[in-house]
Amino acid sequence: MQQAKWEESVCRFIEQEDLIHPGDGVLVGVSGGADSVALLRFLWQMRDRLGICLRCIHVEHGIRGQESLRDQYFVEELCRDLGIEERTISVKDRLQDAVLAQTAVEEAAREARYAVLTQEAEAWEKELGHPVRIALAHHAGDNGETMLFHLVRGTGLEGMRGMPVKRGRIIRPFLSSSRAQVEAYLAGLGQTYCQDSTNTDIHYDRNRLRHQVMPELQKINAQAGDHLGREALYLGQVADYIRQVAKDLLAQSRQGDLLLAEPLKDQPSFLRCQVLYLWLAAYVAGLRDISTAHLEALDQLFAAQTGRRVELPYGLSVARTYEGLEMRYGDSGLEKEDLCHTFSAEEIQEGIRIPLPETGKYIEVSSFSYDPKMEIPRKFYTKWFDYDKIKNAIQLRYRRKGDYLTVTASGGRKSLQDYFVNEKVSRWERDRVPLLCDGDHVIWAVGYRISTYYKVDDHTKRILKIQILEENENE
């Protein structure tokens, strides 16, 4: 009875959020874990009611050895038993660069997984002649954790929304359901699933939040995670409304590189900041280094005298003009020579911290002896390199002609220019990306990737440690 009641509530949520229409194809990403297995079983049970065609994709990352293969075989067998068409696609080769470069493997795996699902959905849509949705199994507890994670890192309303119920072809039918409801559904079906051992590894920030922070909140209220997740759903609706209003205001206010003050002067500050955020998105890919402080400074610029301006990352600046705010390129007065430091051996041995222009951040460089028992950090802005592979004095600078990265274990090179083009880094950003260099060989394009050549291996004796820190921040 409870099983049928829950199925009905999820179907109502799907209809309320307009996630699926009769005739649609639904491609389910199934890892073999409890949530994705429950989603597959639910959609299979409801396929006639929803009027959908169903397929399954299992993405095999190849980074958990035999456990990863166990999950693959489990998903294949489950789909055979249910009569669901299934494909297993390996992304192991796509992840090699991230593994070798010691970049965020978890993020690289996520990107590879989404790329596979999107590619398969697009191909099936052409074959089916109907829209194809990608169904993911995130539930209210996951959404609550995401919301809390964003809050801890610092976010605005957009981050407080957690995960959207629908974005493009991606849908999340379980976002209004709790983890307990999903697990109870599986128990009612007598359905087994796989356990991923990495989900308990607290070296990952999200796992640390899940296993150390959330239990403390649940001592206050056992449903804390689910309550946060449902609040995130509500805030998502608020964020969508505000974003649409801001888009309309931006369309009225923008004239080339000028943002007119008149249409925005009577709007509340939070809405002007949302307009400013959308405006900046046209100039800075990903808005990686645009902070709330930048947005607040730009908002205050509306009330400033003509000629005042705010400096932004990547050589951009915004000036107050008679009509409003004007975006200017390379007009900050900071030349490339303003970032050119050659590190001495003594500085590296003792440890040195120097400021990065325009960012409000510092770079800290140090060295130490390496013990293979040490665990290499998985942090985006902390990198370890094999110090003894570096041939020249290490320089911190901006790009120059001839700079290159090593991108494969066999020594394959890619020019920095080509790398930036492939990553869609805007031309003004390229001139403001800090580089750690060994001659023309880029050790690390800060905020992007490292050169494979300098990765730590079995022969490493000494570590060059590089960190990017906020002002007054310690490790």
Give all domains of the chain, ordered by start, each with its CATH number. 2-234 (3.40.50.620), 256-329 (3.30.465.60), 338-470 (no CATH)
Cβ–Cβ under 8 Å, residues 193 and 187: no
Residue type for position 151? L
Q: In 3-state terms, the chain is what percent helix, strand and coil (to 5)?
A: 45, 20, 35
278 in Cβ contact with 256 (< 8 Å)? no
pTM comes to 0.63
Tokens for 379, please give them. 């942090």
The CA distance from 459 to 177, in Å, is 50
pLDDT score recorded for residue 335:
43
pLDDT score, position 94: 63
C-alpha to C-alpha distance for 365 and 24, rounded to whole angstroms: 54
- Cα–Cα distance, 162 to 157 (Å, whole number): 9
* φ, ψ of residue 155 in degrees (nearest 5): -155, 170
Q: Which two tokens stand for residue 224?
A: 């804390």
Q: Are strands 361-369 and 462-470 parallel, antiparallel or unpaired?
A: antiparallel
| 163-170 long-range Cβ contacts below 8 angstroms, 24+ apart | 163/138, 163/232, 164/236, 165/17, 165/19, 165/233, 165/236, 166/17, 166/18, 166/19, 169/118, 169/121, 169/131, 169/132, 169/133, 169/134, 170/133, 170/134, 170/136
Beta-sheet strand order (sheet of 462-470): 352-356, 361-369, 462-470, 382-386
Q: What is the pLDDT of residue 198?
A: 73
| Integer-rounded Cα radius of gyration of the chain | 25
Tens place of pLDDT per residue across the chain (475 aa): 588 899 999 999 999 999 999 999 999 999 999 999 999 999 999 999 999 999 999 988 766 778 888 989 999 999 999 999 999 988 776 666 555 444 456 667 777 888 889 999 999 999 999 999 999 999 998 888 888 888 887 777 777 888 889 988 999 999 999 999 999 999 999 999 998 777 777 777 777 888 888 888 889 998 888 888 888 888 888 888 998 999 999 999 998 889 999 999 999 998 999 999 889 887 776 556 677 788 889 999 999 988 888 888 767 889 998 889 998 876 444 444 468 889 988 889 888 988 887 667 889 999 999 988 888 877 767 899 999 999 888 999 999 989 999 988 888 999 999 998 888 776 767 887 899 999 999 999 988 889 999 999 989 999 999 998 875 555 4
Q: Which two tokens stand for residue 408?
A: 């494969």
Q: Which tokens is 317 given? A: 């600046």
What is the structure's pLDDT at 151?
Answer: 81
Distances (CA, A) of 376 to 73, 361, 379, 448: 31, 23, 9, 18
Q: Is the dihedral of CA 263, 265, 268, 272 positive or negative?
A: positive
Tally the residues of the chain: 475
Q: Give the pLDDT of residue 471.
A: 56
**Integer Cα distance of 339 and 63 in angstroms:** 38
DSSP one-letter string for 7-38: HHHHHHHHHHTT---TT-EEEEE--SSHHHHH
* Cα gap 111→136, rounded to integer Å: 14
Q: How far apart are CA 134 and CA 166, in angstroms?
A: 10
What the block records as the tokens of 231 is 């609040």
